[in-house]
Structure 1
Amino acid sequence: MSGPGTNGTPEASGVTATGLRAGLADTATATRRRARRTVSRPTRGWRVPTSGLAASADRRSLVDLAVVSLLLVIGLLGFAPVLVGGWFLVAAVVGLVVGIAAGWLSRLLGLSAILTALLALVLYFLLGTPAAIPGQAILGVLPSLGSLRGLALGAVLGWADVLTLSAPAAAPDYLLALPYVSGWLTGLVTAVLALRWLPRGSRSLGRVAVLLIAPVVLYVVTVVFGTHAPFLAALRGTAFAVVALVWLGWRNPFGRNASMQDRSTLARRKLIGTAVVVAGAVAAGTIGGVATEAPLASSRFVLRDVVQPPVDPVDYPSPLAGFRNYTADLDETILFTVDGLVPGDQMRLATMDAYTGRLWDVAGADVATNGSGSFRLVGGEFPEPDLFTRADTRSLDVTVQGYSGVWLPGVGAPVHLAIEGADTERSESVRFNAATSTTVLMSRLSEGDAYTLSSATQAVPSDEALQSVQPAQLSMPPIVDSPDVVTAKMAEYVADARTPIEQVRAIETALHTNGFLSHGLASDSVPSRAGHGADRIEELFTRNQMIGDEEQFAAAMALMVRQLGFPARVVMGFAPENVVEGQPTDVFGGDVTAWVEVPFAGVGWIPFYPTPDETEIPQDQNPKPQTEPQPQVRQPPRVEKKQEDLLTSVDTEDGEDEEKDEQFVLPAWVVYAAIGISAPFLLLGLWMLVVALIKAARRRRRRRVPEGHRRAVGAWDELIDGHRELGFALPVNQTRIATASSFAAQRSRRASDAGTATDPAVARSLHDLATRADAAVFAGGETENDEVEGLWQAARREVRAAGRGVGWWRRLRSRLRVSRSRRARERRPVTDGSSRRGATRRVAVRSS
């Protein structure tokens, strides 16, 4: 029989059904929550997500990673203008894959940030050799010490080197590590963000857009590190913008919870919007690129325009200033041997285009011109000059003998350089100026060096072919302090010339035909002063005859051409005369020469040779020295007397000096013996001086303590340290009075051992000192200054008396030892009187 509320009643059945429905609802809610937590929480450890929602999240992450990787590749293409060849793209893509792989392994293994960085570095060095530095790999793929060094240097120094290299650059070999490390770093950051950071929270548009930071930064970096001629700027910029906008549009989470019908409508709208964005971007990029391509190339900002080159030629002396050293001192010296020259070749050493009033020099790196100051790092391959017309090629094998310096001799415009036996550091010390075809080796050439240089020679058209050609419009360094006579002579020489080539040739012909050659040697018929400053150039034109050598005539012609309004520069080099094609040629110091180069538009720098060949000057035309009339009136008698006196006195003094030198010359063994004997005494004296200074500082510190009782304790400590340095034993854990008695007993015992009488006053004096020190410490109030000074004088007096009671050896040792009272080490400063007395009493009891 069942009643109301029993299990058999309908009410009971209804309650059960309601509870069942509620339980099912709770179970479903819990299941949904767990599903949401599964979606929002990334996979840890080795577990791979199996739910559909998690797999969908991983697919979205992979799509994000693929899109951002495409944007990174577009950015990495920006290295094309600064690196030779297409292998840089292989290095960049491999670096990108390595970085993404490191990020994926970090997500798969659940690594921390530190472990992720370590894993990425291991993969960077392990897999970077075949991609970035394949030439130094072992068996083509395994890393070597050289490749590991190159990967490290490229990551750190590659950014600076690429700015100072002449683009495009092929060396140093570690430059390919630059795109490799760029792809590796941006790929690692992107993978970590896409696979680990983004799935942890909501995938809002703002969080998704964070993935664009690395591609944008990389794109900007390749732009500012590039050149004025970018690589497919319009195409790359348009593609980057389209891919980024389309991806952000499709990743927008708006409408994710809409119905199926609304989702299809949104999908159609997204397709239409995507097509409109792509079409608009392509049209804008095409029209904008065509309309603005020319001004963009000239106004493009790149860092290489504001970064100073690593070599400033102003740091090295002007080669032209040492011109007479070659003709006077190295005339018969073989400077280097060259194999590969043909008759008529001239080896250029340096190019100078800045005149300071004192000399022609290489323009400094801070002069923003087309001149010779911009030396940049190069490897084995050299860029071709902008203003150059190739005529022929040369391959020279140069062996250095008597030459030394930073300027590297060559013919024409260098194309390839290989230094024999050079290590990596020396190969990286080559700097080149493409505007002047001048090469600098910062590690300097010296005897025994050898190198192979491939060059191209400049084509030199005839004067008829240059009649209608204007000089090139180049910015040159300003001319300083040019003599006025140069301008006047220039106007005289070019009066009948019309075209630029006729004017320049007229200056060359006038100097060549009216001048006379003299190096100022004893064998020359007339003297010739060295130098090419403003005074020397003025003297060249104001004397009866123009007398000089290549240094003066080349300098004068370059000044005239510059005053005419045309660019010009002076080139110094060597013109060997004994060249036999197919045989090695010895280049002597006497082969040194100098000439002038003037640029013509579309042709190149054309050489001119103004130095005359005539060396015999008519005697009746020789200018007489201006000082010659004066000796006829005054000088001869006085000069003759002075010369006789000087000769006599100089000979006498030289003889006396020689006799004195012979008298006072000591044998070497005497000098060494004196040094050996005196060295220990000098060291001993030096050590005694150091110890004396330390003791003086110790006394000064103890006597300058502000509290009187502490200065009194310092006097007692000075007494203890003085006795210990003399070799007296300090009793342990004794009072001051007991310590004084111990010192008195030891001094009495030493006096007895020495056979002298014991002074009873010693014990009384030490006991009195101990009593006064105790009174200063334990008595109330502040100790008077007079009492403290009396303690210090008594303590110093007792230490001196103790020193007199010991032998000389102990006194010497005391000057070499520094002792410090244990009480002074244990004492701590106190401020108030009561705590001072208590603390000092405790320290005194413990230490005494």
Structure 2
Amino acid sequence: MSRFTRPRPTTRARTAPAARPRPDRPAGLRAAWRPFPRAAWTDVAVLSLLSLLGVLGLETSFGDYNFLVAGLGGLIVGTGIAVLGYALRLGVVTSVLAAILAYFLLGTPFTMPGEALLGVFPSISSTAGLALGAVFGWKDIVTLGTPVEAPYYMPVLPYFAAWLIALVGTMLASRWLPGRRRTVWRTGVLLIGPVLLYLTGILMGTDKTFYAGLRGVAFAVVAIVWIGWRRTKVERADAAGAARLLRRKLLGTATLVVGAVLIGALVGGVLAPETKDRFVLREEIQPPFDPLEFPSPLAGFRQFTKTLADTPLFSVTGMQPGETLRLASMDAYDGKLWNVAAADSLVNGSGSFRLVGRTIPEPALVTSSANSTVTVDVVGYEDVWLPVIGYPATVDFDDAGSQEEAETLRYNADSGTAVLTTGVEPGYEYTVNAMLQQTYRDEDLQDVPVADVTQPAVENIPDVVVAKAIEYAGTADTPIDSLRAIEQALKTKGFLSHGLASDGIPSRAGHGADRINELFTRTQMVGDEEQYAAAMALMARSLDYPARVVMGFAPDVPEDAGTVEITGTDVTAWVEVAFEGVGWVAFYPTPDQTDVPQDQTPKPKTEPQPQVRQPPRMDNEADDLLTAVEIDDTKDEDKDKDFELPGWAWIVIGSIGIPLILIGVPFLVIAALKSRRRRNRRTKGTGDERAAGAWSELADGFSELGFEVPRASSRRQVAVSLEAQLAAQLLSPDGTGEIVDAAEFVAPHRLVPVAASVDSAVFGGEQVSDEVVESNWTAALASLATAGESAGRLRRILARFRLRAKRDWSQVNLRGSRGPGTGRR
């Protein structure tokens, strides 16, 4: 029997009865139900694992693992609906609608169990949260402080992302991929979702990482091994070829795993950026709250001492003697006032306030000695700045509107300052649990340097402030001694006056450069906490010490006082300086003396002088025509500055340039390998080997252009098959594959002569000259050029970056098992 003759079915095969339906499954259900593709289960499992690795990147943003439960729930819901839709033969649109319905019905227990009815069923608030989280969660997560706990719908973000990627990936793996030839590119399409989810965990996280090296190596190994194993099928080869191919794949997999681990452990540790240099979106996006839209708290200091002096502002329960309420910390000075730094001028500076939940992030520089819990009942205070104690760890609002107030609470961890964007109003009640900065003796700080803290530059410091700082610091050789000397000089040489009618001497409000200059140039230093704290902070900054002005309330708290009433007279201001490994140490430079000594120098009496008529004033005097002109040299200064790329440019480079490099490098490697392959075939070996290399180059080139190249066939047989395909492509303008005029298929397009010439050179038994080799190569390359022109521009471009496309490796192994020379006939 010829091997091309199809055997006829036997009588038993023709008369065999049809399979009966299973008695335990109704016929209607059997007709509607179809099993999920067995090969797709592996794809779904790999995609779920890669998506889970991507979701883990959000750990630094959420802190606890509620986000992981939400992500797993999204994977389960998305995958389950996609599998069910395939099994029930639902259309794509119907399956997507069913997935959206399941998203809302099943998402509540995974994301917001506290909002669920009976712990499982969705409520109105949870349904709204599932919609809001999918739309606004992406914006909120990069503007919230970590860990993100508010708004309540934040866990919806990983749930929605995992649900969407699982749904799309499972539908592609079961509906789109099985009907097509599995290639690297088609398989790689399924990786788009998990890769985007992995990048989301990086960009929307923090500058800290969650096992970045381990997750990255695991993601790369799983993805590459999966693509490699799913690309070819071992069962198409015979036993020997299948075993050989299996051994090669196992060896390649082991080599890849070991190489990835070594590269990830060694190279990754060297190339990984430092924590402060990592690019995350939350560091580039300016928070929506801008404190500079509101007046500086220190500028309203006299309002408390005058207008609100006897007005009850707060009732505080749990406050201990010596404790203070912090209102605001200011480290920027422009010659007019102390304020917080602009949010866009200093990343994570004193003006960067981020939305936080009940749990507040810890400050970077603090040594806590104890915790304190106080309850504040707002009575007569109205502003956006929220008074807190120490460095808060949690803030709980106790009134009926606690949810709305918590969602407007923003906090700056470095400065320990909190704000309510909707404003603090009378009737608010909240409880603060905070860390208190440990106090140190001067002896303990003798050998401690000041901390390396980035602060905004102070501007327009009066010269007298710098001179007085040097004078008061004297010969002190340590930071703590210099600061104590300045503090003591201000306390002992100055006098306290709030500018009230009851004060012995007037005191002008404000802390601009003119007021600070007046403080030191008058006969006596007179002012209150506003001027003395502002002056000492400027003096410390002139000595290159990191200092800031803190404004708050320091009531006189007796022992076991219970509830303390705070009025405007309890307002105060002090200076804090950062010490390395210690924290911010407080200094109180305001003097306690209020009796200013009178100037004993008698003033000369004025005697009346006779009035003399003055000559008329001459107009258009030369001096009057001259006016001072200020020359704006900002442009010259800007020219001197080094060119810096804006933040958006780095975002574009990172989001577009890096993927282009990752995609382009493999293409360049393939092109280099092909060039090296052609050069070796053409220049290395004996004459017959180089002539045979011309045919190998032709066969591989046709294969890479998309032609079907027969394997285990003679060169003449391959040439006949390729001629037919090339003729159909050249002479079928309508795309039907029928040759219009075979006579037009002229000699330059014939491949049989090329095959005959190569066979003659290989099997002729004579030494092949260089002229014959070059002739074969010229003919082969000309045929390849013709095939490329007929294939079109797109296929020519793709062929440049394809390596032995459409080659059946099992047949190659089979040919290799027959001994040398097989297939070269």
TM-score of the alignment, normalized to the shorter chain, above 0.5: yes
Question: Contact 1:554/1:596 (CA < 8 Å) preserved in 2?
Answer: yes
Label 1:459 to 1:630 Cα distance change in 2 as closer, same or farther (>3 A).
farther
Query: Which structure has more helix as a fraction of its residues?
Result: 1
Label 1:598 to 1:25 Cα distance change in 2 as closer, same or farther (>3 A).
same
Label 1:48 to 1:257 Cα distance change in 2 as closer, same or farther (>3 A).
farther
CA–CA separation in structure 2 for the residues paired with 1:158 and 1:483: 48
| Selected match of 2:389 from 394, 405, 411 | 411
Match of 1:111 in 2: 90
| Selected match of 1:340 from 314, 318, 321 | 318
Give the stretch that moved more between structures: 296-305 or 234-243: 296-305
Secondary structure at the counterpart of residue 192 of structure 2: helix
| Selected match of 2:206 from 220, 224, 227 | 227
CA–CA separation in structure 2 for the residues paired with 1:176 and 1:634: 88
Secondary structure at the counterpart of residue 526 of structure 1: coil
CA–CA separation in structure 2 for the residues paired with 1:378 and 1:634: 75
Kindly state the Cα deviation for residue 113 of structure 1 after the two structures are TM-superposed. Answer: 3.5
CA-based RMSD = 2.7
| Selected match of 1:265 from 215, 240, 244 | 244
| Selected match of 1:325 from 300, 303, 314 | 303
* Higher RCO (CA-CA < 8 Å; seq separation 6+): 2
**1:207-255 deviation per Cα after TM superposition (whole angstroms, max 9, x unaligned):** 2221111111111111111122111111111111111111111111266
CA–CA separation in structure 2 for the residues paired with 1:484 and 1:48: 89
**In structure 1, what residue type is equivalent to 2:466?**
T
| Selected match of 2:168 from 165, 186, 189 | 189
| Selected match of 1:167 from 135, 146, 162 | 146
Kindly state the Cα deviation for residue 62 of structure 1 after the two structures are TM-superposed. Answer: 0.9
What are the within-5 Å matches in structure 2 for residues 218-617 of structure 1? 218-253=197-232, 257-293=236-272, 295-368=273-346, 371-420=349-398, 421-617=400-596
CA–CA separation in structure 2 for the residues paired with 1:322 and 1:429: 24
Label 1:619 to 1:272 Cα distance change in 2 as closer, same or farther (>3 A).
same
Question: Contact 1:568/1:599 (CA < 8 Å) preserved in 2?
Answer: yes
Secondary structure at the counterpart of residue 430 of structure 2: strand
Question: Contact 2:59/2:210 (CA < 8 Å) preserved in 1?
Answer: yes
Question: Contact 1:84/1:170 (CA < 8 Å) preserved in 2?
Answer: no
Query: TM-score scaled by structure 1?
Result: 0.67
Secondary structure at the counterpart of residue 393 of structure 2: strand
Label 1:522 to 1:202 Cα distance change in 2 as closer, same or farther (>3 A).
same
Kindly state the Cα deviation for residue 371 of structure 1 after the two structures are TM-superposed. Answer: 3.3
Secondary structure at the counterpart of residue 572 of structure 1: strand
Give the stretch that moved more between structures: 549-558 or 254-263: 254-263
CA–CA separation in structure 2 for the residues paired with 1:23 and 1:433: 82
CA–CA separation in structure 2 for the residues paired with 1:562 and 1:209: 57
Match of 1:130 in 2: 109
Label 1:622 to 1:492 Cα distance change in 2 as closer, same or farther (>3 A).
farther
Secondary structure at the counterpart of residue 164 of structure 1: coil
Kindly state the Cα deviation for residue 536 of structure 1 after the two structures are TM-superposed. Answer: 0.5
Question: Contact 2:33/2:88 (CA < 8 Å) preserved in 1?
Answer: no
Secondary structure at the counterpart of residue 562 of structure 2: coil
Kindly state the Cα deviation for residue 424 of structure 1 after the two structures are TM-superposed. Answer: 3.3
CA–CA separation in structure 1 for the residues paired with 2:384 and 2:29: 60
Whether 2:91 is the aligned partner of 1:91: answer no
**In structure 2, what residue type is equivalent to 1:601?**
E
Secondary structure at the counterpart of residue 445 of structure 2: coil
Unaligned runs of 5+ in 2: 15-27, 612-825
**1:504-539 deviation per Cα after TM superposition (whole angstroms, max 9, x unaligned):** 111111101100000000000000011111111011
CA–CA separation in structure 2 for the residues paired with 1:318 and 1:606: 23
Label 1:321 to 1:231 Cα distance change in 2 as closer, same or farther (>3 A).
same
Label 1:302 to 1:548 Cα distance change in 2 as closer, same or farther (>3 A).
same
CA–CA separation in structure 2 for the residues paired with 1:486 and 1:370: 29
Question: Contact 1:395/1:455 (CA < 8 Å) preserved in 2?
Answer: yes
Give the stretch that moved more between structures: 276-285 or 403-412: 276-285
Secondary structure at the counterpart of residue 118 of structure 1: helix
CA–CA separation in structure 2 for the residues paired with 1:198 and 1:631: 109
Kindly state the Cα deviation for residue 202 of structure 1 after the two structures are TM-superposed. Answer: 2.5
Label 1:578 to 1:300 Cα distance change in 2 as closer, same or farther (>3 A).
closer
Unaligned runs of 5+ in 1: 1-16, 31-43, 636-848
**1:103-156 deviation per Cα after TM superposition (whole angstroms, max 9, x unaligned):** 112222333333222211111111111111111111111111111122222212
**In structure 2, what residue type is equivalent to 1:359?**
L
**1:49-102 deviation per Cα after TM superposition (whole angstroms, max 9, x unaligned):** 88xxxx7x8110111111111111111111111112112111101111101112
CA–CA separation in structure 1 for the residues paired with 2:73 and 2:178: 26
Q: How many residues align?
A: 595
CA–CA separation in structure 2 for the residues paired with 1:159 and 1:386: 26
**In structure 1, what residue type is equivalent to 2:365?**
L
Kindly state the Cα deviation for residue 582 of structure 1 after the two structures are TM-superposed. Answer: 4.8
Kindly state the Cα deviation for residue 271 of structure 1 after the two structures are TM-superposed. Answer: 1.2
Query: TM-score scaled by structure 2?
Result: 0.69
CA–CA separation in structure 2 for the residues paired with 1:340 and 1:504: 32
Kindly state the Cα deviation for residue 609 of structure 1 after the two structures are TM-superposed. Answer: 0.3
Question: Contact 1:352/1:360 (CA < 8 Å) preserved in 2?
Answer: yes
Label 1:491 to 1:110 Cα distance change in 2 as closer, same or farther (>3 A).
same
Question: Contact 1:600/1:606 (CA < 8 Å) preserved in 2?
Answer: yes
Match of 1:210 in 2: 189
Give the stretch that moved more between structures: 376-385 or 110-119: 110-119
Question: Contact 1:226/1:302 (CA < 8 Å) preserved in 2?
Answer: yes
Kindly state the Cα deviation for residue 578 of structure 1 after the two structures are TM-superposed. Answer: 4.1
**In structure 1, what residue type is equivalent to 2:281?**
L
**In structure 2, what residue type is equivalent to 1:162?**
I
Kindly state the Cα deviation for residue 177 of structure 1 after the two structures are TM-superposed. Answer: 1.0
Question: Contact 2:396/2:402 (CA < 8 Å) preserved in 1?
Answer: no
Question: Contact 1:94/1:131 (CA < 8 Å) preserved in 2?
Answer: yes
**1:690-721 deviation per Cα after TM superposition (whole angstroms, max 9, x unaligned):** xxxxxxxxxxxxxxxxxxxxxxxxxxxxxxxx
Label 1:464 to 1:304 Cα distance change in 2 as closer, same or farther (>3 A).
same
CA–CA separation in structure 2 for the residues paired with 1:577 and 1:632: 55
Secondary structure at the counterpart of residue 295 of structure 2: coil
CA–CA separation in structure 2 for the residues paired with 1:217 and 1:546: 63
Match of 2:782 in 1: none
Kindly state the Cα deviation for residue 165 of structure 1 after the two structures are TM-superposed. Answer: 2.0
Match of 1:766 in 2: none
Structure with higher Rg: it is 1
**In structure 2, what residue type is equivalent to 1:260?**
A
Kindly state the Cα deviation for residue 25 of structure 1 after the two structures are TM-superposed. Answer: 8.4
**In structure 2, what residue type is equivalent to 1:215?**
P
CA–CA separation in structure 2 for the residues paired with 1:538 and 1:401: 38
CA–CA separation in structure 2 for the residues paired with 1:359 and 1:533: 5
Question: Contact 1:369/1:475 (CA < 8 Å) preserved in 2?
Answer: no
CA–CA separation in structure 2 for the residues paired with 1:622 and 1:349: 43
Match of 1:705 in 2: none
**1:443-489 deviation per Cα after TM superposition (whole angstroms, max 9, x unaligned):** 11111111111111101211000000111111111111111110111
Give the stretch that moved more between structures: 423-432 or 409-418: 423-432
CA–CA separation in structure 1 for the residues paired with 2:11 and 2:492: 113
Secondary structure at the counterpart of residue 436 of structure 2: strand
